[in-house]
Amino acid sequence: MHRLGQTRSIYRPTHLLQTPDTFVRAALPGMSGAAAIVHAAPAMGASFTEYTAEFEPGGVLGPASGQRFIYVLEGALDVCRAGKTQHLQPGGFAHLPQNASHSVSASEKSRAAVIEKRYTPLAGVEPGPALFGSESNIPGQPLMGDEDLRVYPLIPDDAGYDYAVNVMIFQPGAALARVEIHVMEHGLLMLQGGGVYRLAETWSPVTAGDFIWMGAYCPQWFGALGKTPAKYLIYKDWNRHPLAAAH
């Protein structure tokens, strides 16, 4: 049914809420049997790119524009690098360093979140190596002592990695302890459940499938609502001095 121009999606200079009813699909260069929903990109003020890749069986992802992080949402992906193939199922993830030759293909109809960021070098530190893993093998950590709000870090807190990706799970009624305002920017994909997100001066209902971009210093807060846990995948730039981005 026609929605007569109505949507929960909003875009401001400091933030974006993009809901599935506004998604537009298009193939990126090098894609075959696949399409991308581009959520965040430099065109809207982000310093990284994040998109959902949707694959038909046998579909292939194109080349990366920098470092690449992949998180499988549905189906299964084969990531081939240095003659070895990693088979990733839902919750499986990979970090591929910048300029690392690799291929990504779907063995069945699949969906994946893909984050790409140009690496910011740090003097005396080698870039982190490729990583492969599964969310199910990552131990959760309570955030600020709250057992109802747990963080699952998918990227090691190591200076060789200039970004972080976490899965966060909120039990019904759990909420961030404070409104956060900080220099890092975020890309956030709601995986299940829902709640209310404060973005600057806007309070928005959010649910599984929504994407949120938060620029640096955007006031932000989330509280989970409903009878099931809320879960999201969240990116942030990390481990670099704020002046590094200016060079």
Q: For strand 84-88 and strand 49-60, is the pairing parallel, antiparallel, or unpaired? A: unpaired
Provide the residue type at 237 as one letter.
D
When pLDDT is cut at 50, 70 and 90, the band that residue 244 belongs to is: confident
Q: Locate tokens 């955007």: which residue?
A: 218
The per-residue pLDDT for 246 is 59
- pLDDT tens column, 106-164: 999 999 999 999 999 999 999 999 999 999 999 999 999 999 999 999 999 999 999 99
Rg (CA), the chain: 18
Query: By the 8 A CB rule, do 24 and 39 touch?
Result: no
Structure tokens, 67: 């470092």
Structure tokens, 111: 């969906």
The per-residue pLDDT for 75 is 98
> What is the greatest pairwise CA distance in the chain?
58
The per-residue pLDDT for 1 is 58
Q: Which residues contact 88 (CB under 8 A, 6 or more apart)?
A: 70, 72, 76, 77, 78, 79, 94, 132, 134
